[in-house]
Amino acid sequence: MENSKENPNTNDPPSSFVIKIPSYEEVIQSQSQPPAQSLFKSSQTFTQAFKSIKNSEFYVPPPSSSSSQSQSRDSSTPSAAANQAGASSSSAQNRNAILVSNRQKGNPLLKHIRNVRWAFSDIVCDYMLGKNSCALYLSLRYHLLHPDYLYYRIRELGKNFKLRVVLCHVDVEDVVKPLLEVTRTALLHDCTLLCGWSLEECGRYLETIKVYENKPADLIQGQMDTDYLSRLSHALTSVRHVNKTDVVTLGSTFGSLSHIMDASMEDLARCPGIGERKVKRLYDTFHEPFKRTIPKHPSTAETSAQQFTPCEVIEDEKETSHSSKRNKKESDLTVKSALSAAFAKYKEKVGMETNHQQEHENQKQ
């Protein structure tokens, strides 16, 4: 009984797994039919592969703003990189070029700027020659028509530039009055005035300032030798007929320039190779006054050659007497006497003003 309960289905046949093998006809029929579409079939694009998911209940569409931002980012990244590259290249070019204001379009001066690159730009000044330097172009003919133009242009610049150049093109014949006005305006507003008598000269000024923008002033200054002999030869060879050999002879004989200047004509003549003409030139150069006095009266030879009448002689004597009296008066006037006279006049003036004030006060009382 117990065994029958434990195995109630002992009489049933054992289960078996049967594999069905298709026949030849079934295989041919299956090949002739179109194949069923597979879910994992490869597609050409991502959207075609996951197109069926959009129709399911699990699909949620993305927000439109994020997609637009992502698309704009994707599209803007190459353009931004290209813009940055273009900006860097343009800034490098502008750094080495003269920036020209749009106001100067059509100015024939631009044809004469050949040695430096230039480009148009929206700037306040006419020509930007560097970070701290600029230039304003002015024609004197235009200044005669608009006298206040330069003043208002300088006011527009302000204090943004250390070097402010007024490039004045002198294109009129009578330049005294207009050039005086331009000079006064430039000096009162701390501007440097450069005058050019042709467009080529004005263009050359702009090119030179741009080329020497970052260079020191020593390149423009003349180079001076530091040793004593070269400086002595530079000073003495400025005297006519004195060469470098004579400078070496004088330097070895006297030792210094001060001793050469104090030497007499006999001492200079003892030096070998220095003749009478050189001695006289050197001595006259060191002992003549810097300010030459022009004789007021003709020499005796000239007066003897001329024939004067008695009336002319009397007039000359009168003129000489008047001039001698005038010279005596001028010699009597000293600085002390002039100051004392000025103070006396000032004292009298102050005394008169005080007297008038006292009289007014008395009248009021």
Q: How does pLDDT run across 249-264, given as a tens digit for each residue?
A: 998 898 888 888 888 8
∠ CA 231-236-242 to the nearest 5 degrees? 135
pLDDT, position 37: 52
Local confidence band at 55 (pLDDT 50, 70, 90 cut-offs): confident
Instruction: Give the pair of three-digit tokens for residue 172.
Output: 């009129």
pTM above threshold 0.75:
no
Assess whether pLDDT exceeds 50 at residue 282. yes
How many of the other CB atoms lie within 10 Å of CB of 282?
24
Least confident segment among 135-144, 232-241, 319-328: 319-328
pLDDT, position 98: 92
- Length of the chain in residues, anyone? 365
How many of the other CB atoms lie within 10 Å of CB of 128?
22
Is the torsion defined by CA of 246, 251, 254, 260 positive or negative?
A: positive
Least confident segment among 143-157, 209-223, 231-245, 308-322: 308-322
Assess whether pLDDT exceeds 60 at residue 13. no
Instruction: Give the pair of three-digit tokens for residue 226.
Output: 């530091």
Which residue, among 94, 143, 96, has the nearest Cα to 116 in the 3D structure? 96
Where is mean pLDDT largest: 45-54, 60-69, 247-256, 355-364?
247-256
Which residue, among 152, 161, 170, has the nearest Cα to 192 in the 3D structure? 161
The type of residue at 126 is D
How many of the other CB atoms lie within 10 Å of CB of 180?
10
Instruction: Give the pair of three-digit tokens for residue 1.
Output: 């009984």
pLDDT, position 6: 47
φ, ψ for residue 56, nearest 5 deg: -80, 170
Centroid of chain to Cα 187: 17
Is the torsion defined by CA of 312, 318, 321, 325 positive or negative?
A: negative
Strand partners, 195: 168
- Mean pLDDT rounded to a whole number for the chain: 75
